[in-house]
Amino acid sequence: MEGITLEQAVELLLERSPRPVREEVPLMEALGRIAAEDIKASFDNPPFDRSPLDGYAIIAADTEGATAEKPARLRIVGEECAGDFFAAKVSSGEAVRIMTGGAMPKGTDAVIRQEDVRAEGEELLIPYPLRHHENYCFAGEDISRGATLVTAGEELAAARLAVLASQGMASVPVWRRPRVAVASTGDELIMPGQPLSPGKIYNSNLYLVTGRLRELGCETEVLDILPDDPENGAEKLSQKLAWADILMTTGGVSVGKKDIMHEVVRLLGAERLFWGVQMKPGYPIIGYQKGETIGLALSGNPFAAYATFELIARPLLTKLAGRKETSLRRRRAVLEDAFPKASKGRRFIRAFYEEGRVRLPEQHSSGSLFSAAGCNAFVDIPPGTGKLEAGAAVEVVLL
């Protein structure tokens, strides 16, 4: 088998990857985006000491020795709801009615809960002693100034955005989404919704590739089906070069009469990085580059397109997206079903992995995608492996 190894292809693409571009987006638009830098807290949150419940802010020492029979008696000197600010200093013998989230008035050091007291006019009766800082929430209890709230390369989930909002941030620096122009090639292809005619099939790869790109946070531009005509293909793709970080196509990469992508790469004036990666399915993938833009021409067989997308394109997309982790997760696992074919070269088969065990579907043809739809892993079968029995130890790549 000619061609380069999978690892070499990935490495080469990572080397050639355009640099991620930074942009600042409004916090409300940042869900799922990748943070472009570490973000640290610029102040303590909450910004002031506050009450954790509805009750009365008091001075704990005033309640010493209080009992139900002989309650401590304090004078209510004011009231403070969340958002108010009680400016006066509270002196011994005084209490301030306070609601959850209210700033602790100066001088007070504890809160007694509303349900435990009796108020008679301005007088407050407290039936037990409180400790210094009982029911008391300190400034900075949630976040202390300087704490790292988000690390560069992290995907911003809802709770992270809430943390940034609590720091008053209205926007956040993120990496621009990778821009990918996607196209399917093939005179046999018909778009879903159109009537099928003899010899034609529906374009399914477009949905697989575009869907996965979007799941990975890419911006996509979907081109019309490219006919098996290299001039036309090169023309359509060249129009996307300025916008796209990546051109991704399926079909037309092998040695058939209508395998136009070789000629397309030439007409684009692109540098071919590789043709052929030592794996089955998907071997004839072409990698190319024109300017900064990287082209990946995947094989048209649906499972081949899927496998090469996950194993070759995804690490590149992950890097371009600015994500921390670019390598796929691997696990050792025990095969629960036999795989009856020997593998002369390296082979990836679809599988379902769960807790160290891996099951195989019945159908493994690279033209079939149906059986891959419920799978979550590929078994990585090394070259020169005989047929695999149930119980064999294998290595899987998680999707």
105 binds Mg ion (CB under 5 A): no
205 binds ligand AMP (CB under 6 A): yes
Residue 185 per-residue DSSP state: B
- Count of residues of this chain found to bind ligand AMP when the rule CB under 6 A is applied: 20
202 sits in which H/E element: strand 201-202
DSSP string covering 244-283, please?
A: -SEEEEES--SSSTT-THHHHHHHTTPEEEEE-BSSBS-T
Decide which of Mg ion, ligand AMP, none touches 299; Cβ closer than 5 to 8 Å per partner kind: ligand AMP
Is 183 strand, coil or helix? Answer: strand
289 binds ligand AMP (CB under 6 A): no
Separation between Cα atoms, residue 128 and residue 150, nearest integer Å:
44
- Give me the phi and psi of 213, to 5 degrees please: -60, -45
Q: Could you say which of 206, 273, 307, 351 contacts ligand AMP (CB under 6 A)?
A: 206
| Helix/strand/coil percent split, the chain, to 5 | 20, 30, 50
Residue 62 per-residue DSSP state: G
> CA 398 → CA 199, 321, 329, distances in Å?
36, 19, 6
18 binds Mg ion (CB under 5 A): no
Residue 296 per-residue DSSP state: E
Query: Looking at beta carbons only, is 108 or 308 nearer to ligand AMP?
Result: 308
Q: Are 397 and 377 in contact (CB under 8 A)?
A: yes
Q: Which residues contact 363 (CB under 8 A, 6 or more apart)?
A: 370, 371
Query: What is the residue type of 45?
Result: N
249 binds ligand AMP (CB under 6 A): no
308 binds ligand AMP (CB under 6 A): no
Residue showing the smallest CB distance to ligand AMP in the complex: 300
Query: Looking at beta carbons only, is 121 or 257 nearer to ligand AMP?
Result: 257
Decide which of ligand AMP, Mg ion, none touches 308; Cβ closer than 5 to 8 Å per partner kind: none
230 binds Mg ion (CB under 5 A): no
Applying CB under 6 A, the span of 55-63, 80-88, 192-200, 251-259 interacting with ligand AMP comes to: 251-259
Q: Could you say which of 102, 252, 284, 315 contacts Mg ion (CB under 5 A)?
A: 252
Q: Could you say which of 252, 281, 282, 287 contacts ligand AMP (CB under 6 A)?
A: 252
281 binds ligand AMP (CB under 6 A): no
251 binds Mg ion (CB under 5 A): yes
180 binds ligand AMP (CB under 6 A): no
Residue 36 per-residue DSSP state: S
Q: Report the interface residues with Mg ion, using CB under 5 A.
A: 186, 251-252, 300
Q: Report the interface residues with ligand AMP, using CB under 6 A.
A: 184, 186, 188-189, 201, 203-206, 250-254, 256, 299-302, 367
